[in-house]
Every structure is written in structure tokens, then in C-alpha cells.
Amino acid sequence: MIVFENRFNHKSQSFFNFKETYKLQLLKEDNWKNYNSLFPYPNSNIILMLYSIARRYSINKTNVHYAICLFQRYLGLRDINQKKSNRNNFNINNNRNSNYETQISICSLILACKMNETHMEYTLKINYLRIPLIDEFVGLVLECYFPSNVEQLQPVCQKILDFLYLYPKEYLSESFSLVSIAVVSIAYAIYTKSKTNQMIRWVPNRHTAIINSIQFSIFIVTLLKSIKQI
């Protein structure tokens, strides 16, 4: 596993209170069964679509369950942040929002497939995923896509994490959610050309899809430029 420096020991103007920013992380639940019970359930069309994709690409349907867990997290945090968006007079029309949810749900499935057997832990008693730290997520996502470039991934991971941690106003205004991981996952899914049962090539036009599905285009451009250095 890629080792990251402890950026919380740094004293800078960019430092912010982690627990205050991510208030939901203060909850004592340590498994997805308890954690996801706090979040809304996805639209039935989303669930049907994920199962259809699983059948089409011969994906273990257990991953659909995990994808739904991840998507629930996004839905809940999106609703929490909706009030903040309204205060900023920021609105998304229904069609665009529906398209955004569809793409995020597919990203959830990609992520579930990539992580289920390698990192996300579950027990026989509680067959739900544990909540990983964002450092673990980012590092492992990169290692999954580029297993032969672990050492070279260090600076890329560091850039991603520095951005996530040190510039919350630009990126983490939506709070810690699936979105932060979706950006990394989507960027690497688009960049990687390989076809596997765990990699769904669902983006016909990478530039349009990125802008429409994830509204952090500046970060993605920076990320993709970093990836090309590998």
C-alpha cells in the first residue's frame, strides 16, 4: 500500500478541522449496515440498471449490492448539501441531475468491483462494507489500475490528496462523499484502455461526460495531466 505523509501535522493557512468538515464521520457506526440506514434508497430504475449492467458484463451481483451502498452515501450527502447549494443560488435541472445520478451509480459499480475483493472488508455476520479512509481509497484505486507503477504513483497520489485535504473550498464543499472517490475512479476508468469484467467503458465522449457528470473539471484536468507522467 502506498504510504502517505501525515499532512495533519502541517501548519498552514490551508489547514482545516477534519472532524468539523466531515461531521458525518463522527458517527460511531463502523459498518455499512448501520451507516447506510441513515441514507435514502436509490430510485428503482437505478437499481434495475445496475443489475442489467451486471448481467451484461458477467459481474458478480454481490457487487451491485455494494454499489448501492456507495450510491446511498452519495444521495444522503447530496441532500445534506442541497441547503448549502440553495443558499448559493445553485440549481441543477431535473434532466441533468438524473443523468448525473446515473453516471455516479455506474461509477459506484466500477468502484465496488475494483475494491470488493482487494480491500473492502466484510464479515459473515454483517455482510456490509466497512468505511475506508479516503487515503486508503485513493491509493488503492491507483494501485488497482496501475499495479506495475506503484513507486511512480506516489507523487500522483500525493497531488490528489493534497488537493482534497488542503483546498476544501474548491473541492470538498460537497463534503466527504462518493463524489471525491468518483472523480478518481472515473478519471482512471476513462484513462485506462483495458477491457475487463470489472471495467465498464460507459463514457462515449470523455470530455463532455466528465464535465456533465462531475462538476470539478479543473481538478480532473490536473489529475489527467499527472497521470500522463506515469
pLDDT in tens, 84-118: 555 444 444 455 556 667 767 877 777 677 666 54
pLDDT at 56: 83
Query: How many domains does the chain contain in total?
Result: 1
Question: Is 139 a member of any domain?
Answer: yes
Question: Is 21 a member of any domain?
Answer: no
Question: Is 100 a member of any domain?
Answer: yes
pTM, two decimals, is: 0.47
Question: Is 184 a member of any domain?
Answer: yes
Q: Are 175 and 22 in contact (CB under 8 A)?
A: yes
Of the listed ranges 12-16, 33-37, 62-66, 163-167, the least confidently predicted one is: 12-16
Domain that holds residue 77: 30-227
pLDDT at 141: 55
Question: Is 83 a member of any domain?
Answer: yes
